[in-house]
Structure formats: C-alpha cells, structure tokens
Amino acid sequence: MLRFSIAVPGCLLTAAAMLCFMDFAGSLSQSARAGVDSPADPEQLRPMPDQMPDPAEPPGATAPAVNQEMDQALVRKAVEAARVASRNAWCPYSKFPVGAAVVTGDNEVYSGCNVENASYGLTICAERNAIGQAVARGQRDVKLVVVYTPTEKATAPCGACRQVINEFGPQAAVLCVCDSESRIEERLEALLTQAFGPRNLE
C-alpha cells in the first residue's frame, strides 16, 4: 500500500477535520430522526396472509332468536316479571335498580331484584336472586334469563351473574331490556366463553 505524506498547515487541517466531523454528525442526526419520527412503511407492518388471524364472528351472529325459539307470550311474561321485580330493588347506595326473571325448562317464571348491603361485598344481583328463587323451588334448568334496568341502554349481567347462570343454564338465552328500544340478545356462551362449570368437575 502506498502512503502519501502531505504537509498542511495546522490551522487548515483543524478546520477541515471540524467540517468533516460536523457533516458526519449531521448525517447521524438525520438518520436518528428518520428512525424515530418517520412513520413505518405500512407494507412492512402488514402481516403475511398466513399470519393473519381468521376474521372474528360478529357479536350476536350465533345469538338465539328469542322471538323464534320461545313462545312470545312467555317472553313477555318474563319481561314484565323483571320490570315488576325492579320496583322492589333495595339499592340505596348505587341508586341502580335491576329486575331479573328466569324461565325454566318447564316454562315456569321466577323473578328477583338486586339487594344491596352496606358492606357492598354482600350485595346480591337481581339475576342471582331470580335463580335462587327458582332453585329454592326445585328448579335446575334455566333456558332464558331476562334482565331489566330503567335506563336508556340495556345492561348485560355482570361476570359473577354470568358464572351463576352457567351453573344452571350453560345454553341459556340472555335477553336484556330497558326503557328504550335498546336490547341485548345473546347466548350465555357468547357472554361467558370457555366457562368453567359442573362438567369440568366430572
């Protein structure tokens, strides 16, 4: 390898070195900003076809058509029972009355309301109260649960109530109504997927 030695005044060498350093530093700064501020190429972020998940089934796609599965007179009876039960709710803390009614396998209707407690943790939801009423009378099969709230938007059962419904009606239909046209109509299995229940202990 050939080496050349060139005599350059010290001041000129220093100035040249500073210019090279500033140019190099500027290049690094621009690269860093491009990596942080510039949006990533969408094509690079898009998953390959074999990595894309199957499209989820829209909510309610497998929900029961209560209008088709059950006698409408029986559904109306359950809805009315839930509405009446909500009037007796004991809810001095939440001010959120709830009424519920369950329809059993032999088409009997049992209702209940939420009963709050000053300790909060001992509060009983309307759905569990209604199921308790049915069980106390020897019922073990729930096929429809109706929940009523005096609101503008229908309210679904809480997680604890879904678990209790699963105990006696893993295939039950759940119908939530309110004071408007809003409603929720689902299978319990859609509201509580892969639920733990009696069959897991067999």
- Enter the tokens of residue 175: 């119908």
N residues, the chain: 202
Give one DSSP letter per residue of 56-117, joined into a string.
Answer: PPPTTTT---HHHHS-HHHHHHHHHHHHHHHTT-B-TTT----EEEEEETTS-EEEEE-B--
Task: Give pLDDT, residue 61.
Answer: 38
CB–CB of 82/99 below 8 Å? yes
Task: Give pLDDT, residue 23.
Answer: 56
Tally Cβ neighbours within 10 Å of residue 31. Answer: 10
φ, ψ (nearest 5 deg) of residue 101? -145, 145
Task: Give pLDDT, residue 27.
Answer: 52
In this prediction the pTM is 0.68
- Enter the tokens of residue 161: 């109530």
127 classed as catalytic: yes
Task: Give pLDDT, residue 46.
Answer: 46
Exactly one of 57, 80, 108, 127 is catalytic; name it.
127
Q: What is the pLDDT along the chain (202 residues), one digit of tens a residue?
A: 444 444 444 444 344 445 454 555 555 445 444 444 444 454 444 444 444 434 333 333 344 446 566 789 999 999 999 999 999 999 999 999 999 999 999 999 999 999 999 999 999 999 999 999 999 999 999 999 999 999 999 999 999 999 999 999 999 999 999 999 999 999 999 999 999 999 899 9
